[in-house]
Structure 1
Amino acid sequence: MGKTKKHLYEIDFMRACIIFGVLVVHVTSFYNTFEPNFTRRNLFYEGLLSSFHFTRESFMFITGIVLFITYCRKDVFQSRSFWKKRFLLIAIPYIGWNTLYMLFMKSYVPGFTWSSFLPKLGMGLLTGNEFYMYFLVVSMQLYLFFPLMLKAIKKIKKGHWWIFAGSFVLQLGLMAFNQYYLQNIPLSHVPVWIRWLDQYRDRFILTYQFWFVAGALLAVHYEQAKAFVVRHARMVFTIFLIMLALLLVHAGYDRMILRESDGMTTLVLQPIMVPYALMVTVVLWLVGIKWSEAREQNKKISKVITFFGNASFGIFLIQPFTLHYDDDFIYAYHMSLTAHLFLLPLSIVGVYLVSAALSWMIGKIPVLSYIVGKKVGIKRKRDYSGLLKGYSVIK
């Protein structure tokens, strides 16, 4: 019989932090558009963007952990029931939010008419090219291949370190291919499959294979890995700080010496982000473990962390709306670029809190709650007729 699933409070902490990091990236990117190239503020924003560009990989990592820790210890696994459950849970938000994005865009995008609504929606559903839908598209690909991955991980009981190392090297190679080849080729003279890779690389499961593999292996060896990072906490933090310093030096070199563009300097899919994102994720996991052990000592803070962790999926999907209105506010008041520095943290926190509140409210509405990953059905009125009938007989 499989072991009972234990709730991982450290994953709640990680989700709350990672989605905050996502908003740091998106809000900072907007503020950076106002800055002239190579100013101090421009370089500050790019350093901030680079250091927070771990979030995509971290989300993939904890997705792998949660899936594998849920199913790897079960004696019986049925692919059909897994697919039915998982695809239903993700398909409803995917269709729902794509539709909402289209309706919202129609209200402010010039030339977006009802005649173009359905084709635009169809393309969005087919490719996941609207806002941040890539995460759901990649998740659905993971669900599709998950039974094979689960079977392989269970069958290959020895050699997990080799799998980890091989996946890590492959990830470095894929990121190098993206940075040094796909980013610099004239697409008009390459085969169709290269153009396809260039266009959809951020929505392709192979692009993130290491994070799913690493999450899977951590799930299998969870307690051993947990004991190791807790025992070597100082070493983990030291390596993280070294990687952060290397990342910022790398970004500065790309920008100031090589004179690369903003986009290339802060590129998510590049080799240096692999070890850096791994160390940030491990640090977040370690801090989450420490918090989970002490969470009973301050229940108010624990409730806040759990709230934002549970709301993270909804925040991710709602953020295009809150970011849009935050951007409108900045545009409307024409504040100085120096004032932007003081507004940046307020914008980040504001978008985070409003998105979380909206996620919570939607999660309380029956049926509609499915679009933020919550299952709240319509409560049926209790039938007291039988009880009353019995009561009258007794009397």
Structure 2
Amino acid sequence: MEWELLGIILAGMVAFTCYFFKIPLPLPVANTSKDIREDRFDILRGFSMIGIVMIHIHSYFQFFHPADSQIIQSTLFFSNLARFSVPIFILTSAIFLRKKHGYWTSKLNHLIIPYVVFSILGYLIKYKDYQLFEFFEFLLLGKVFTPFYFVPLLLQFYMLFFIFDSVFTNEKWQDSLLLLAFLTNFGSNIGIFDSILPKQYHAISILNYIFFFVLGIRIGKNQIENTQVLQRTKYIFSVYLVVFIVLLIINSFIFEYDLKNHHTIYPIFMMIFFWNYLNQFNRRVTKILCFIGNQSLYIFLLHPFIIHFMHSVDPYIFGGPTLGYFFTLVLNVGIPSFAAFIIQKGKFLYQSHRLT
């Protein structure tokens, strides 16, 4: 419960301010009526992908230097700061979700097949005693590499939407469904369903992220962006970001709380904050973030291989703890990004050759 307390405090402050100043909550706008994809969602995914790497780097440093409390607390702070990442991935995956022809064909080609291929390679590399039953268990539960749990989790949401799309897209029920999803998500976070669900299922339980999925579907229906609301909330959320950073420093350096991925409030706060400021980012930076977000699946599947092999190398050899941290971050984002670029370039050249 203690790791939810930070979000409850933050939500209370934001709710009070929005109510006092009569400011509606400025959720992002999908503009699904346009033919052009909204780049800002890919940029959000780019931030989230970098955040996922930061979470894993904390474990990497903890593996080699658990007694170096100052460094571990610092990497814990960056890990906690990045805990919005997985919920944002779930949310942005739901925004453009539509039940249409080729629904599962697209999921098979762009998600399932790459996941199976990388899981086979990962299992052969990481484990010594190969067992077919164990491999299928790891595949279904996303346990070949720890981060792989995200794929079975996402597939469950895709299946849920495919079966109940008429429920999720019904405008009459959207407010009630969102409230129910929030209460379910929060209840799951504090362990209400732990004794009911199988223990092995806890890591990929959709109840941990159901609120973000339903909210993503809701955002996918938003068409009009109120620029006045965005301008007014920009400064409010900037102030609260400073407050939150202070609270996060206290939690990370004094209490040493390791926040969970399925925090119910913090990801929404960070999404709104980023959304308000994305247009002010340097164009080259946003282009890089957009590419990382757009190719996040390949980066997500390749990064665990890199961090796995790096566990045989002390991060301090890269120039000490500070340089070692940034070098590790660059390697784990840069190498998969470069691989994704080569793959996309190869696809483009192949298609161009076929047309000629």
Q: Shorter-chain TM-score: what band?
A: 0.7 to 0.9
Q: Which runs of 5+ in 1 are unaligned?
A: 72-76, 183-189, 256-264, 367-373, 383-395
20-29 or 165-174, which moves further after superposition? 165-174
Once the 2 structures are TM-superposed, how far is the Cα of residue 378 of structure 1 from its aligned partner? 9.6
The letter of the residue matching 2:37 is H
**CA distance in 2 between partners of 1:142 and 1:170 (Å):** 15
Aligned to 2:142: 128
**CA distance in 2 between partners of 1:53 and 1:354 (Å):** 23
Q: Identity of counterpart residues, as a percentage?
A: 19
**CA distance in 1 between partners of 2:185 and 2:226 (Å):** 21
**CA distance in 2 between partners of 1:277 and 1:46 (Å):** 17
The letter of the residue matching 2:302 is I
**CA distance in 2 between partners of 1:43 and 1:118 (Å):** 40
Alignment of 1:240-389 (within 5 A): 240-252=241-253, 254-255=255-256, 265-268=257-260, 273-291=263-281, 298=283, 300-330=284-314, 335=317, 339-365=320-346, 379-380=353-354
Once the 2 structures are TM-superposed, how far is the Cα of residue 327 of structure 1 from its aligned partner? 2.9
Aligned to 1:168: 182
| Cα separation, partners in 2 of 1:281 and 1:123, compared to 1, 3 Å | same
CA contact (8 A) 1:51 1:248 kept: no
Aligned to 1:391: none
CA contact (8 A) 2:49 2:300 kept: yes
- Structure 1 residue 238 corresponds to structure 2 residue 239: yes
Once the 2 structures are TM-superposed, how far is the Cα of residue 137 of structure 1 from its aligned partner? 0.7
**For residues 217-257 of structure 1, what are the alpha-carbon distances to aligned partners after superposition, in whole Å with 9 as ceiling and x for unaligned?**
111124347764344211222333333433443445644xx
| Cα separation, partners in 2 of 1:161 and 1:243, compared to 1, 3 Å | farther
Aligned to 1:104: 125
**CA distance in 2 between partners of 1:174 and 1:236 (Å):** 27
The CA RMSD measured in Å over matched residues stands at 3.2
Once the 2 structures are TM-superposed, how far is the Cα of residue 365 of structure 1 from its aligned partner? 4.2
- Structure 1 residue 56 corresponds to structure 2 residue 86: yes
**CA distance in 2 between partners of 1:38 and 1:228 (Å):** 45
- Structure 1 residue 145 corresponds to structure 2 residue 146: no
CA contact (8 A) 1:9 1:288 kept: no
**For residues 123-180 of structure 1, what are the alpha-carbon distances to aligned partners after superposition, in whole Å with 9 as ceiling and x for unaligned?**
22232211122111111111111135531243233x64444344223322211117xx
Q: Which runs of 5+ in 2 are unaligned?
A: 1-31
The letter of the residue matching 2:276 is L
Aligned residues: 324
The alignment's TM-score, normalised by the length of structure 1, stands at 0.71
Alignment of 1:149-160 (within 5 A): 149-157=164-172, 160=174
| Cα separation, partners in 2 of 1:38 and 1:318, compared to 1, 3 Å | closer
- Structure 1 residue 44 corresponds to structure 2 residue 82: no
The letter of the residue matching 1:240 is L
CA contact (8 A) 1:50 1:247 kept: yes
- Structure 1 residue 119 corresponds to structure 2 residue 133: yes
Residue 105 of structure 2, aligned match among 71, 84, 106: 84
Aligned to 2:63: 33
| Cα separation, partners in 2 of 1:378 and 1:130, compared to 1, 3 Å | farther
SS in 2 for 1:274: coil
| Cα separation, partners in 2 of 1:228 and 1:61, compared to 1, 3 Å | farther
Structure of greater relative contact order (alpha carbons < 8 Å, 6+ residues apart)? 2
**For residues 58-114 of structure 1, what are the alpha-carbon distances to aligned partners after superposition, in whole Å with 9 as ceiling and x for unaligned?**
1111111232xxx3xxxxx54x64233324432211211111112322xxx4xx14x
**CA distance in 1 between partners of 2:164 and 2:236 (Å):** 31
SS in 1 for 2:96: helix
SS in 1 for 2:169: helix
SS in 1 for 2:150: helix
Residue 94 of structure 1, aligned match among 112, 115, 138: 115
116-125 or 41-50, which moves further after superposition? 116-125
Q: Which has the greater radius of gyration?
A: 1
